[in-house]
Amino acid sequence: MNRIQTGINGLDKLIEGGFPEGRTTLVSGACGTGKTIFCAQYLYEGASKYKEPGIYVTLDERPELIRQDMQKFGWDLRKLEDDNMIQIIDGSLAKIGIPSEEEFAMPATGFDIDKLLLEIMRTTKKIGAKRLVIDSIPAMGMNYESENEIRNAILKLSYLLMRIGVTTLLTSEVTEGENKFGKYGIEEYVVDGVIVLHYMGIGTRSNRTLHIRKMRATKHSEDLHPIEIDSKGMNIKKVDKEYDV
């Protein structure tokens, strides 16, 4: 099985060298756990280090804010966009009917899963994308009236992403301490991998950890691994055990 190196320091050796190519992984966690940093680093390193173009679909935050936030790690997303190595698809405004000024965006006629998939396929073909991030599933779910409709949309999305062949990260927000990995109770079952990010504040100190809950076709660590976020991005720290690639 081919592996896609994540570019996230310390992670690949925990998952046999990287994500299984063409598969989908859910990155879940409470607010402030580092999901956006994790996903942006996956795309940035993929484009800059491994020459694998990527797409960032934002359904919540405006693209310009994402670009600004990632600059603090030295990640110049705009330059990679100009080089057709990364493209950001703006879906943040479509759901409220406001047109986006971005080159790649969903139409301002409202959110529709088919329109989103068409835009992903169009952009994938244009830049030869190998990596994809969709941030986030709860933001997508706000456009549906019932949870049954949301679940059907997630199933459709998961199936068609597999057909497109990109290696995908989906994000979902959950409440810290809850024994669930997706907002709608289906995400963790239709994806091939689940990575859970935790954040606990103790007094004046904070403690971030990563747990690989599931990774199909992969021998992976089952431990809680400390996370450090510094000026260069996210680092996954060692625990006592060592895992061979």
Domains of the chain: 3-236 (3.40.50.300)
H helix count then E strand count, the chain: 7, 11
Under 8 Å between Cβ of 18 and 6: yes
Q: What is the mean pLDDT of residues 16-23?
A: 97
Cα–Cα distance, 226 to 239 (Å, whole number): 8
Tokens of 238: 């060692």
Does 203 score more than 70 pLDDT?
A: no
Does 244 score more than 60 pLDDT?
A: no
Q: Where does residue 35 rank: exposed (0-12), middle (13-18), buried (19+ CB within 10 A)?
A: buried
Q: Give the confidence band of 245 by pLDDT, cuts at 50, 70, 90.
A: very low
Q: What is the mean pLDDT of residues 172-177?
A: 84
pLDDT at 155: 87
Does 204 score more than 80 pLDDT?
A: no
Q: Which residue would you say has higher pLDDT here, 204 or 27? A: 27
Q: Give the confidence band of 26 by pLDDT, cuts at 50, 70, 90.
A: very high
**C-alpha closest to that of 43 among 61, 55, 33:** 55
Q: Which residues of 140-162 are buried (b: 16+ CB within 10 A; e: fewer)?
A: bbebbeeeeebbebbeebbeebe
Does 106 score more than 50 pLDDT?
A: yes
Residue type, 73: F
Under 8 Å between Cβ of 24 and 164: no
Tell me the H-state helices in the chain. 35-48, 63-71, 77-82, 113-127, 137-141, 147-164, 187-190
Does 170 score more than 60 pLDDT?
A: yes
**DSSP structural state of residue 237:** P
Under 8 Å between Cβ of 40 and 56: yes
pLDDT in tens, 29-74: 999 899 999 999 999 999 999 999 999 999 989 999 999 999 999 9
**Quick one: what percent of the chain has pLDDT higher than 90?**
63
pLDDT in tens, 110-155: 778 888 999 999 999 999 999 999 999 998 888 788 888 888 888 8
**C-alpha closest to that of 56 among 72, 75, 77:** 77
Q: What is the mean pLDDT of residues 16-41?
A: 96
Write down the mean pLDDT value for the chain.
90
pLDDT at 240: 61
pTM for the model: 0.92
